[in-house]
Structure 1
Amino acid sequence: MSVNENLLADVSHIATQAGEKIMQIYNAPDFQARIATQSKADDSPLTQADLAAHRHITEALQSLRHEHAELPQLSEESEHISWQQRQNWESYWLIDPLDGTKEFIKRNGEFTVNIALIHKGLPLLGCVYAPALKTIYSGAFGVGSYKNQEAIQARQTNPEKLRVVGSRSHPSPELSDYLTNLKRPYELVEMGSSLKLCLIAESAADLYPRLGPTSEWDTAAAHAIVSAAGGSVEQLNGQPLRYNQSESLLNPHFVAR
């Protein structure tokens, strides 16, 4: 499966367009009425913005050139696809049309559109667009990583004081224990959605220990960006975080740096 700058640009454009669909609802006078929809399987909220972005992304990916248009798609809004079907996928698109729905509802701007290309369990390409912030992160294997088209790189040095990024909406006691065991100075940077991983990719944070539940579509796009920026996303046993490895779509705990 090949990736290049043209494909990265095409997927970035799709993510940006999906973000525009979200912002139409985000900026609507009847915002509160338009987010009052049903709940997802994990009891997190499902809004009209999730569905509008999902429809746009799935249709646009099918319009891409050549082999990429024919790939199967797994979106948070299509999680009913069975393991019996998924286990035969070598390459596929993994999508979160609106990551950080709680941030969206709070209207704090820290929500994103996530699109990733997975090949043999690893993310080759990813785009993360934060429409309220007008910021897009993108990256691909062999191409590099970018923030608003400017090249970015994960930190390659080991600073005396670590900047540790943590969840704004999902803090965990496990994180508190982890930070206690660091035994070195740190400052905690709170952030919502997949933007936490993007901070690692652009050297705005040094460490992101995720010791609470995440789904594969929450992390894959930003994971690709971190990897292409020279960073790493590993399970606690030191093995790379991989995708579509079992019936469960939940990630194990991981650390990005």
Structure 2
Amino acid sequence: MLRTFEKAALEAGEAIIEVFRAGCCVAFKADASPVTIADERAERIILSHLAAAFPEVPVIAEEAVAAGHIPDIAGKPFFLVDPLDGTREFVDRRKEFTVNIAFIEGGIPTAGIVYAPALHVAFVCESGKAEKLAVDDKFEIVERRPITVRAQPESRVALASRSHDSPRTRAFLDEHSISECTNIGSSLKFCLIAEGMADIYPRFTRTMQWDTAAGDAVLRAAGGSTLTLDGTPLHYGEGANADFSNPHFISWGNAKRS
């Protein structure tokens, strides 16, 4: 499965970079979130790969859902796809945007890829193991190395959304005596915790399941966790919100500390 994810994400990333270099117009969906031709091209590529390799597995994909195409996933494993997470970063010419594909079993993200094509890096996981990949200018993988979260230090580093920060986030950080916080876009926040570069990511504004599933999969495989505010693991699919939005959550590296 992971090889299919990698092939699909790398090809989608190449299409995204072509648009990124050329520039493009931006449209807005019903929820006021931006969408570009890069989102649409990348999603078509990913869906084509998944359909060819796993025709029996339903796919919940961001742009397809926006167009009203929502397959039945009740009681089934399924894929979650965000072809371009961090569209605002993409439009603003920042390089933090990512391609995201995740496999969900029983509400748990068990395999996934987060690929940042402009940064030449990807993060993948399968069978409880997480890796960081280096990708060259030809969109080929040139290096793999295993990653794990670090032990929680006394002085923890937090990550927050660049485009969707909130006063509640600052209040949370103050409450937990966390003074160092870096703002960064897209699902890379999960991956930075997974590779031991940061320790916590509190999220108190709206996210969708396709925004978080792949990064969450990588983080869990690397030894971290993503918990809702009642302390339960973030759940995907059945039993989650009907519109595929997430509740507020906190992602932790290593063991959660109060």
1:52 corresponds to which residue?
41
2:145 corresponds to which residue?
150
Q: 1:13 and 2:3 equivalent?
A: no
Q: 1:236 and 2:229 equivalent?
A: yes
The CA deviation at 1:185 is: 4.3
Q: 1:39 and 2:32 equivalent?
A: no
Q: 1:97 and 2:92 equivalent?
A: no
2:56 corresponds to which residue?
70
Residues 64-119 of structure 1: CA distance to partner in whole angstroms, max 9, x if unpaired? 1xxx332011100011245xx53524111100010000000011101000000111
SS of aligned partner of 2:131: strand
**Which amino acid letter does the alignment assign opposite residue 131 of structure 2?**
Y
**CA–CA separation in structure 2 for the residues paired with 1:204 and 1:86:** 38
Of the three residues 168, 179, 184, the one matched with 1:174 is 168
**Which amino acid letter does the alignment assign opposite residue 238 of structure 1?**
G
1:141 and 1:224 in contact (8 A); partners too? no
Q: 1:251 and 2:246 equivalent?
A: yes
Aligned CA-pair RMSD? 1.3
Instruction: Evaluate the alpha carbon distance shift between residue 141 and residue 254 of structure 1 in structure 2; reply closer, same or farther with a 3 A threshold.
Output: farther
1:209 and 1:256 in contact (8 A); partners too? yes
**CA–CA separation in structure 1 for the residues paired with 2:20 and 2:109:** 29
Residues 134-163 of structure 1: CA distance to partner in whole angstroms, max 9, x if unpaired? 111101233x101112100012x2211110
Of the three residues 159, 170, 187, the one matched with 2:180 is 187
Tell me how many residue pairs correspond in the alignment. 238
Q: 1:208 and 2:204 equivalent?
A: no
2:159 and 2:201 in contact (8 A); partners too? yes
SS of aligned partner of 1:197: helix
Of the three residues 29, 50, 64, the one matched with 1:61 is 50
The CA deviation at 1:10 is: 2.2
SS of aligned partner of 1:208: strand
SS of aligned partner of 1:27: helix
Q: 1:22 and 2:19 equivalent?
A: no
For structure 2, the residue ranges without an aligned partner over 5 or more in a row are 134-143, 253-258
Return the TM-score normalized by structure 1. 0.89
Identity of aligned residues (%): 42
**CA–CA separation in structure 2 for the residues paired with 1:164 and 1:22:** 29
The runs of at least 4 aligned residues of structure 1 exceeding 3 Å deviation read: none
Q: 1:125 and 2:114 equivalent?
A: no
SS of aligned partner of 1:242: coil
For structure 1, the residue ranges without an aligned partner over 5 or more in a row are 1-6
**Which amino acid letter does the alignment assign opposite residue 46 of structure 1?**
V
SS of aligned partner of 1:70: coil
**CA–CA separation in structure 1 for the residues paired with 2:230 and 2:213:** 19
Residues 110-134 of structure 1: CA distance to partner in whole angstroms, max 9, x if unpaired? 1000000111111110100001001
1:160 and 1:185 in contact (8 A); partners too? no
**CA–CA separation in structure 2 for the residues paired with 1:11 and 1:97:** 12
Return the TM-score normalized by structure 2. 0.89
